[in-house]
Every structure is written in C-alpha cells, then in structure tokens.
C-alpha cells in the first residue's frame, strides 16, 4: 500500500472543510478527487502532502515517497528549463534529467528561462519535475490547467507509464484522462453540527465530531 488515509478531518483558514475522509492508494492505482468548488480538494491534497496538519485522523505513507505538484508551478524564473530540472534532480538525489525533458516535450525549450515560458509550457515543466523526483506517490492539484489537448494527452501517457511502473497518483482534476484504472472519490461539502467548532475556535488544538 503506497498511501493509507484514515478518518481525516481538515480545515482551511480556521474553518473545517472535510471530515471522515478515508481511502487507500495502492501501487499502480489512481484516485481522482471530485466535488464542487471549495469542497476542500486542494486542502486535502496539501494535508496528504504534509504541508498542513490534519485536525484529526492519519496520513500514512513511506518516508519521502510523495511528490506534490501544486496549482502554482513553483518554477525558478531566472533559471533555464534544464537548470530548473537539474536543481530538483539535485534536491531529490536523482541524476538524469533527459527523460523529464523528453517526456514533456521540453527539449526545444531546454535553454529558455523558465520565466519566459507560456502558461502551458510552465505547467509542462512543473509536471516534468515529477519525473526527476523519482518518488512513487504523485499528489496532483489540477495538473492539466493551461495544457492544450496534445499536452493533456502527453501528461496522460506519462501518468499511465508511472502507474504501470508501480507508481500511484492522487489528484484533483475535472478532466477525464481516460485512465481505466482510475477510481473516483466524491467529496461532500462539510456540514457543521450543532455544538461543533465555530469560526475562530482553535481548531488545531482540539477535535470535532
């Protein structure tokens, strides 16, 4: 099992957004989060990636197994495309950036400053970073935003290869990537219960039912 989430409750901006979220993600599996705007998909992904603590519940994953691709690409604007990838390869202790450049059709852009790329090109570079992390569990927040049809297909190919190689993916996306192995997790809007926490309560110090 690559990821095990149990009875998770999470908050954003001091307000609870989701509770009782449980799922397992096995090697080779993709799980797609669905739900209306504001339901808490990004918050759940951030929590799974370890960027914020849960109010309650557990996220269990192997050490250094998760690679998170957020909404924003987080690129170094004054480094070239290749330098960005080398920078991350050094951080994650992986070597060769060639598969990442080729995998996201970035070879013709290798020497361009990242800050000069178009939105879709930046997104491709942000996604190419996943390949240089060498990490098995991809946590992806709307990975196809700004991508054209050809780039969405390219990303779906890379994702399929990742899953076929024993990787897994948890993602928020409204696009059907045509993954036969993908499962859907529908998230329901949080409903406050009488006597539960109110705005301004110290949610991280307590628990709610």
Shortest spacing between CB 174 and ligand ATP, in angstroms: 8
Binding segment toward ligand ATP, per CB under 6 A, in 36-44, 53-61, 96-104, 192-200: 36-44
Site stretch for ligand ATP (CB under 6 A), options 37-45, 79-87, 101-109, 147-155: 37-45
Nearest in space to 134 (alpha carbons), one of 75, 92, 166: 92
The number of beta carbons lying within 10 Å of the beta carbon of residue 6 is: 15
Nearest of 130, 121, 134 to residue 158 by alpha carbon: 130
Question: If binding is defined by CB under 6 A, does position 38 make contact with ligand ATP?
Answer: yes
Measured from the CB of residue 25, what is the shortest distance to ligand ATP in angstroms?
A: 18
Residue 43 is a binding residue for ligand ATP (CB under 6 A)? yes
Examine residue 37 and tell whether it contacts ligand ATP (CB under 6 A): yes
Helices (H), 49-178: 81-92, 98-103, 119-133, 149-164
Q: Which residues have CB under 8 Å from 97's CB, separation 6+?
A: 82, 85, 86, 89, 132
Residue partners of 18: CB distance under 8 A and separation at least 6: 8, 9, 10, 39, 40, 43, 44, 187, 190
Q: Does 13 bind ligand ATP (CB under 6 A)?
A: yes
Choose, by CB under 6 A, the member of 9, 17, 31, 137 that binds ligand ATP.
Answer: 17
Measured from the CB atom, the residue of 164 and 199 that comes closer to ligand ATP is 199
Do 187 and 34 touch, CB atoms closer than 8 A? yes
If one asks whether residue 39 binds ligand ATP (CB under 6 A), the answer comes out as yes
Closest-by-Cβ residue to ligand ATP is: 13
Give the nearer residue to ligand ATP in terms of CB position, either 85 or 152: 152
Place of tokens 């998760």: 66
Between CA 67 and CA 75 the distance in angstroms is 15
Residue 26 Cβ, how far from ligand ATP at the closest point, in Å?
24
Cβ neighbours for 198, distance < 8 A, ≥ 6 positions apart: none
One of 2, 3, 16, 41 touching ligand ATP (CB under 6 A):
41
**40 touches ligand ATP (CB under 6 A):** yes
The distance of Cα 165 from the centroid of its chain, to the nearest Å, equals 18
* In the complex, minimum distance from the CB of residue 45 to ligand ATP, in angstroms, rounded to a whole number: 8
* Residues in touch with ligand ATP (CB under 6 A): 12-13, 17, 35, 37-43
């Amino acid at each position: 099992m690559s990821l095990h989430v149990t009875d998770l409750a999470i908050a954003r901006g001091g307000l609870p957004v989701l509770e009782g979220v449980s799922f397992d993600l096995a090697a080779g599996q993709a799980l797609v989060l669905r739900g209306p705007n504001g339901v808490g998909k990004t918050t759940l992904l951030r929590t799974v990636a370890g960027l914020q603590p849960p109010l309650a519940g557990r996220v269990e994953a192997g050490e250094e197994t998760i690679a998170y691709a957020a909404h924003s690409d987080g690129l170094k604007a004054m480094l070239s495309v290749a330098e960005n990838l080398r920078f991350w390869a050094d951080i994650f202790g992986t070597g060769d950036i060639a598969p990442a450049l080729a995998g996201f059709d970035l070879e013709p852009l290798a020497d361009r400053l990242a800050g000069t790329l178009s939105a879709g090109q930046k997104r491709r570079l942000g996604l190419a970073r996943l390949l240089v992390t060498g990490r098995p569990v991809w946590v992806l927040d709307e990975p196809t935003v700004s991508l054209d049809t050809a780039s969405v297909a390219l990303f779906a190919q890379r994702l399929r290869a990742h899953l076929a190689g024993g990787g897994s993916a948890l993602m928020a996306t409204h696009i059907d990537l045509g993954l036969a192995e993908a499962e859907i997790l529908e998230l329901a809007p949080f409903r406050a219960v009488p006597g539960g926490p109110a705005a301004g309560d110290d949610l991280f110090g307590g628990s709610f039912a």
